Structure 1
């Protein structure tokens, strides 16, 4: 390789030659010139290339590792989200099933209670109908107080409810009349003439009035006790 001194010498010779021919000598920039010594050898160039390759490979591996970790984290997050969604769906389904079962149980209880109540009313009506049929007929001699007549036309439980209503409506006075409405008799029929369906002597015969009142309570409420329950809320029936 040529040294810096040699290059300088060559420049000097060229300068002398140019001067000798009468031309203006030009300075030679030897400081900015690339020295042959700075040019890497083949071995150095290969080493540099290998270093670049190693760095590039390391960068790729780092990028691949980062991408792999990101993919794993994304997969973990998705799996957790899927598991939570499934748990929420399972809980919602379980809650819906529990609510449906509770509703079905409540309906079954309500239906059973309604059926039991209907059966009780039917039995009471049947019993009251039998009792009423065997009671004194309208116009016949009763030979007793209105209370004893009524007691003979129904069982004791129903009689007590019936008595509670009559006591508050008329005080067991067969000729009681409401001065405001005109309601008449033991059960305060409105108008009193309604009781004619039970007998023409409805104005004076307690048996006729009781028979009509008992039929009215059975037909309208199911029994005297049901009528009494209504009366306690509304103070009328």
Structure 2
């Protein structure tokens, strides 16, 4: 079996386990990214009961998706993408965009344009309320001003949520965004 096949099985296993235990997907993924076993988490709801990670430690909501903290920037972006249901081909497309934009570096800054971080956001900040230590390029796209300030200071979780919301709202999904990127070399 090849790598993508094993990845699909792993992702399916996380979704199944989270469903059986009544955990949110972001909660189970975050636990795994942090090296914890999902089995150690308490069951938060009965099977079939809608769950929300809004009150979970380490996550917060902001528009669509979830901010996921912990692990590498790549693991954070992948876990955030999973909150949008973007796995398999969608994750592969998002990974391609990221490798061409910032290489999973939340402090990457384009010296000519000023584009910042994982998403290479540019010109979305809205004044002092969102300015961070690295610039003021993130704002809107479902982030609170405080989350935008964190993104503008290099927070991979806030940047990943902004990027996923931006792609969802502008293109619909990463496969369509990657197709656009291939034609234009930006997204």
What is the number of equivalent residue pairs in this alignment?
Answer: 107
| CA–CA distance in structure 1, aligned partners of residues 183 and 103 of structure 2 | 20
| CA–CA distance in structure 2, aligned partners of residues 227 and 143 of structure 1 | 26
CA shift at 1:171, angstroms? 1.1
**Secondary structure at the counterpart of residue 137 of structure 1:** strand
**Secondary structure at the counterpart of residue 122 of structure 2:** coil
Contact 2:105 2:118 (8 Å CA) reproduced: yes
Contact 1:184 1:192 (8 Å CA) reproduced: no
Matched, 1:207 2:130: no
Name the residue aligned to 1:137. 60
| CA–CA distance in structure 1, aligned partners of residues 110 and 95 of structure 2 | 18
Cα RMSD between the aligned structures? 2.6
Normalised by the length of structure 2, the TM-score is 0.51
CA shift at 1:166, angstroms? 0.9
Alpha-carbon spacing, 1:149–1:141, altered in 2? closer, same or farther (3 Å): closer
Name the residue aligned to 2:78. 151
Q: What does 1:87-236 correspond to in 2, within 5 Å?
A: 134=53, 136-137=59-60, 142-153=69-80, 154=82, 155-191=87-123, 193=125, 194-197=137-140, 198=143, 199=147, 200-202=149-151, 203-236=153-186
**Secondary structure at the counterpart of residue 59 of structure 2:** coil
Higher relative contact order (CA closer than 8 Å, sequence separation 6+): 2
CA shift at 1:148, angstroms? 1.0
Alpha-carbon spacing, 1:161–1:136, altered in 2? closer, same or farther (3 Å): farther
| CA–CA distance in structure 1, aligned partners of residues 108 and 118 of structure 2 | 7
| CA–CA distance in structure 1, aligned partners of residues 94 and 170 of structure 2 | 14
Contact 1:166 1:187 (8 Å CA) reproduced: yes
Normalised by the length of structure 1, the TM-score is 0.41
- Identify unmatched segments of 5+ residues in structure 1: 1-129
Alpha-carbon spacing, 1:131–1:213, altered in 2? closer, same or farther (3 Å): farther
CA shift at 1:191, angstroms? 2.4
| Greater helix proportion | 1
Contact 2:68 2:76 (8 Å CA) reproduced: no
Greater C-alpha Rg: 1
Contact 2:90 2:175 (8 Å CA) reproduced: yes
**Secondary structure at the counterpart of residue 195 of structure 1:** coil
| CA–CA distance in structure 1, aligned partners of residues 104 and 120 of structure 2 | 10
Name the residue aligned to 1:56. none
**Secondary structure at the counterpart of residue 209 of structure 1:** helix
Name the residue aligned to 1:28. none
- Identify unmatched segments of 5+ residues in structure 2: 1-23, 27-51, 62-66, 126-136
